[in-house]
Structure 1
Amino acid sequence: MIPKIILGKGPRATHRTIGYLFGPGRANEHVDPHVVASWKGFAPDPGRTPHRDPRDVATQLAAQLDQPVRMLGDAAPVHTVWHCPVRAAPEDPVLTDEQWGEIARRIVATAGIAPQGDEEACRWVAVRHAEDHIHIAATLVRQDGRRPARDHDKRAVQREARKIEADYGLRRLNPGDGTAAKRHTSKEHFKAKRQGASTTTRQVLRLRVRRAVAAASDETEFFSLLEATEVIVRLKHGPSGDALGCNFALRGDTNEAGDPVFYSGSTLAPDLSLPKIRQGLETPTAGAPVAVRAGDPWHQAIAAVERVPHHLAHGDEHLAQGQLVALGASLDLLAAIAPADTRADLTHAATAFERATRSRITADLHSARVLRRSVQALWRERPPDRDGAAFAMLLDATLTAVAFALHWHRTHQHAQQEAATKQALPHMQSAYSRATDTALNHLAERTPQPQTRRRLAQYVARAAPEHADRILHDPAWDALATVLAEAEATGHSATALLDQALGQRSLENTRNPARVLTWRVHRLGTRTAPSPRAQAAMARSTVRGPVYGAGPNPTATNPLSGPTTPVRRR
């Protein structure tokens, strides 16, 4: 159940509100509007007065609601109307007029509009438009001339809505923490519907501004990227001439007068105000940007993402929150560079995960600079990916990081962020499945000769006897054999790579063990092969106990597969 409070002002605010509530609606969505509850129980009802003109009754109702406001004259408050639509979910049972009336009484009581038993409270009326929602309209002057005590009414109404959901068996929504982005209005929704668009202008702007923040290295580049994506920027300047804020509009989106419709950054999302954007674009120290080590951008980005689970499992909450912000920015850029068959899924994943990047915990953005710069370098350079394996490995690391983010939010009882991460995961898994199918097919085309395959199979049987049968019968075995053989050709030891890959995390609950090992071995095999002396040392350590390779955190708990169990060697 979603309540939303709107304040109205002006000399005829009450008449305009009542006229709207009993009119056809902006998109003809008002069906049989009628009163289900009011401040005195028998307020005039324009929808249930067959022998009178409904417009006359609406005028009478507005006048009665407005009487305490008129008594104050010039001393009346600026905002005189409190308007609260309350909508049930599509799957909720249909409530009766009596049930909606009781819900309205609970809402106005908890908001401070009309506390239970208060005979001098504000005047209000609840109007039902259709089966799934009502509108509550009240005037913001009590009948004794005082103002209602409605401090923090938005939070109070949301808390009461959660109780109502439980009492009436309705869909349970997650409690928020005030960091969610503002939803689009019904006016914006119907405008998009009239134009045949699947998303509102607010949603399009939020996505484009967020991507520009993720890709830009400074403020100048940020504004250039927006201009390139048809976003108009209007800066708000202070008396000193410095820009203090900015509004965004989508080119071609205009109002009735033909002017662009602007949205302030903070109304798109709490972290898209100009001060927050600047905070995200700042370098750790003035004039000293973070440098990414020279090397393959794919490998640098994969290594940076692989460290996210370790930070989430072992870092403090501020460092972890910073990693989540950077992970969200990485998803935004991945969606921009993804192959066509995975782009839609990754865009959906990034849009959902956006909610998981904000909480009441202050983010340590400095700690995540390497991750952000690494993915930015990948976005700028667009290095070749011969068989799609690099992109698949990056998605593999990102999927693991998102799974750890789910566990982190659940641990910190961030209900909305946890729900958003759950919503992102299926899209991530779908994109990962498409990407890996393509890459594995390319790798399987280069599978080694049967004799080499048999030798490699023996290595697998010795390294992981408890998983060998599943690995060798996995459809990805040909691809795993390919990466093991190619790693051997560059000087690596196939047995050492297997030991390292198996030691990163348990395969106990892994559905496709060969596929998982393929990406681990491929990642390890792209590093410089160790010298013969180093290989001998690794072999000795293997005899003494399991060898753990360079992973995000060998001992961390994987929220999808449970605690890591050291692999026993024979």
Structure 2
Amino acid sequence: MIPKIILGKGPKAVRRTIGYLFGPGRANEHTDPHLVASWNAFAPDPGRPSHHTPREVMNQLVRQLEQPLVMLGDKAPQHTVWHCPVRTAPEDPILTDGQWADIARRIVAAAGIAPDGDEEACRWVAVRHADDHIHIAATLVRQDGRRPQRDHDKRAVQRTSREIEVDYGLRRLKSGDGTAAKRPTSKEHFKARRLGQETTTREVLRLRVRRAVAVAGDEAEFFTLLESTGVTVRLKHGPSGDALGCTFALPGDTNDQGKPVFYSGSTLAPDLSLPQIRQRLNTTSPAPAPLPAVNPWHQATAATDLIPNRLTHGEDSAAQAQLVVLGMTLDLLPITGPPETKAQLELAAASFERATRFRITADRDTTRALHRSLQTIWRDRTTDGDGTGFAMLLDATLTAVAFAMHWHRTRNNSQQEAAAQQAFVHLEAAHTQTTAPVLTRLAAHSPSQQTKHRYAHHLQTATPQHAHRVLDDPAWGALTTVLAEAEAAGHDAATVLDQAIGQRSLDDAHSPARALTWRIRRLGERHAPGPRAQAARLRSTTARGGDQHPASALPRPVTPTVPVQSRPRRR
């Protein structure tokens, strides 16, 4: 059940609100508006037959609601109307008028509009438009002339709504912490539909601003990127001339006067105000640019690989920063990956956006490497060759999202946990689409049968309990290819395989060979030993008379394991 509180200003706000509630609606959606409850159970109902015309009855209702305001005259408050639409989910049972009346009374009592047993409370009505929702409208002056005590009414109404969901067997929504982005209004949805847009202007702007923040190196580049996507930016300057805020608009989105409709960054999302954007842009400013020789896909994957460990062992402020930069990664994946994965990746990014915010100030020092890598991929339009770079980054991102889901669960952030879980579902779908052709290409270059037998022996030694699953896995051919590539780069196959197995358990891996393929590809390409190290190992190995394949100097990675009960089943 979703309640939403709206305040109306001015002496004519009551008439405007009642006129809308008993009118046809903006899209003729008001087919049977009628009262289900009121402050005294005897309020005039313009939606039911009467010996008066509907307009006359509506005027009577407006006069009765306005009476406490009229008594105050010039002392009436600025906000005169409290308006709260309440909507159930599509899968919920259809409630009767009597049930909606009970819900309305509970909500006005929780909000402080009309506490139980208070005969001098505010006047209010509940109007039902359709099976799934009502509108509650109240005047913000009590009948005794005082103002209602409605401190924190939004939180109180939300708490009561969660109780109503249980009592009436409705879909139970997640409790929030006040960090969610503002939802588009019904008016915005109707306007988008009228203009032939798939999404509202608010949602389009939110996505474009988030992507610009992810790839911009400074404030000037941020505004340039936005304008290149068609967004109009208007700065708000203080007396000193410094920019204190900014608003955004899309061309073609105008009001009744034909002027652009501007949205402030904070109304798009709590973390998109200009001060918050500046903090995020500062993440990369003091750091040096990445070296040209470093593959940014590998660098981004290496940085993303560290997120699970930082979520598990870091302070909450550092973990919050990891969630933010992980959201940036998801924002850019749809525009850097294969076209066939775009839809699922966009859904994943939109879902995870809610999981990036929590009531903790982010310490972004540990996010610089990943942020710089994302910028490099975007600016240079770095090609991914055979697609393995993108596949590895997607694989690392999928794991990080699973850890983010667990992190929010342990802190009872139910909305953020649900958002991360939904993002995980979409990422898994994109992961399957991405990795299948890459694994096929890798398997086509698998080594000789003799080399495969040697790798199988290493595998049976390293993980005897999983060896048969890996050997029977369709991705076994791809795994042997990346092991051969690691050897060609100077690693010891047995050592790299052992390290990959030690990173995380294979118990819940749907495709253990595929999981090991990506791990070994990352290990082999990120940590190839230098010429001196290779020569030293070769001399040492020759002196021992042992294996002629030099061992890697990689330390065993310390990667946390998500508790078994909370790990989603994957690869």
Return the TM-score normalized by structure 1.
0.94
Are 1:373 and 2:399 matched, yes or no?
no
The question of whether the paired residues in 2 share the 8 Å contact of 1:399 and 1:429 is answered with yes
Relative distance call for 1:549 and 1:466 in structure 2 (3 A) is farther
**RMSD value over aligned CA atoms?**
2.1
Alignment of 1:220-231 (within 5 A): 220-231=220-231
Relative distance call for 1:33 and 1:561 in structure 2 (3 A) is closer
The question of whether the paired residues in 1 share the 8 Å contact of 2:355 and 2:419 is answered with yes
Aligned to 1:568: none
SS in 1 for 2:32: coil
Are 1:553 and 2:558 matched, yes or no?
yes
Query: How far, CA to CA, are the matches of 2:142 and 2:317 in structure 1?
Result: 45
Are 1:117 and 2:117 matched, yes or no?
yes
Of stretches 46-55 and 181-190 in structure 1, the one that deviates more from structure 2 is 46-55
SS in 2 for 1:69: helix
Aligned to 2:53: 53
Query: How far, CA to CA, are the matches of 1:310 and 1:349 in structure 2?
Result: 22
1:256 offset after TM fit, Å? Answer: 2.5
The question of whether the paired residues in 1 share the 8 Å contact of 2:392 and 2:518 is answered with yes
1:361 offset after TM fit, Å? Answer: 1.3
The question of whether the paired residues in 1 share the 8 Å contact of 2:406 and 2:566 is answered with no
Q: AA paired with 1:198?
A: E
Relative distance call for 1:263 and 1:59 in structure 2 (3 A) is same
Aligned to 2:245: 245
Aligned to 2:38: 38
Aligned to 1:426: 425
Q: AA paired with 2:329?
A: S
Relative distance call for 1:491 and 1:440 in structure 2 (3 A) is same
Return the TM-score normalized by structure 2.
0.93
Aligned to 2:158: 158
1:561 offset after TM fit, Å? Answer: 7.7
1:187 offset after TM fit, Å? Answer: 0.3
Query: How far, CA to CA, are the matches of 2:288 and 2:353 in structure 1?
Result: 24
SS in 1 for 2:181: coil
Relative distance call for 1:30 and 1:430 in structure 2 (3 A) is same
SS in 2 for 1:197: coil
Relative distance call for 1:477 and 1:395 in structure 2 (3 A) is same
Query: How far, CA to CA, are the matches of 2:23 and 2:380 in structure 1?
Result: 56
1:227 offset after TM fit, Å? Answer: 0.5
SS in 2 for 1:48: coil
1:508 offset after TM fit, Å? Answer: 1.6
The gaps in structure 1 that reach 5 residues or longer are 564-570
Q: AA paired with 1:238?
A: G
Aligned to 2:498: 499
Query: How far, CA to CA, are the matches of 2:553 and 2:23 in structure 1?
Result: 70
User: Residue by residue, what CA displacement relative to the aligned partner does 1:537-562 show, whole Å, maximum 9, x if unpaired?
Assistant: 8x99x9xxxx99667633x1224687
Aligned to 2:415: 416
The question of whether the paired residues in 2 share the 8 Å contact of 1:309 and 1:552 is answered with no
User: Residue by residue, what CA displacement relative to the aligned partner does 1:318-353 show, whole Å, maximum 9, x if unpaired?
Assistant: 111111111111111222211111122111111111
Alignment of 1:113-512 (within 5 A): 113-283=113-283, 288-292=286-290, 295-512=294-511
The question of whether the paired residues in 2 share the 8 Å contact of 1:504 and 1:548 is answered with no
Query: How far, CA to CA, are the matches of 2:368 and 2:270 in structure 1?
Result: 21
Q: Percent identity?
A: 65
The question of whether the paired residues in 2 share the 8 Å contact of 1:232 and 1:251 is answered with yes
The question of whether the paired residues in 2 share the 8 Å contact of 1:309 and 1:553 is answered with no
Query: How far, CA to CA, are the matches of 2:181 and 2:563 in structure 1?
Result: 27
Of stretches 442-451 and 258-267 in structure 1, the one that deviates more from structure 2 is 442-451
Q: AA paired with 1:32?
A: D
1:452 offset after TM fit, Å? Answer: 2.5
Q: AA paired with 2:455?
A: L
Are 1:531 and 2:534 matched, yes or no?
yes
Query: How far, CA to CA, are the matches of 2:317 and 2:148 in structure 1?
Result: 39
Are 1:108 and 2:102 matched, yes or no?
no
1:5 offset after TM fit, Å? Answer: 0.7
Instruction: Report how many residues are paired.
Output: 555
Query: How far, CA to CA, are the matches of 1:549 and 1:88 in structure 2?
Result: 55
The question of whether the paired residues in 1 share the 8 Å contact of 2:245 and 2:274 is answered with yes
1:463 offset after TM fit, Å? Answer: 2.5
Relative distance call for 1:363 and 1:14 in structure 2 (3 A) is same
The question of whether the paired residues in 1 share the 8 Å contact of 2:505 and 2:561 is answered with no
User: Residue by residue, what CA displacement relative to the aligned partner does 1:216-274 show, whole Å, maximum 9, x if unpaired?
Assistant: 01000000000011100011111222111111001221223221111111100001111
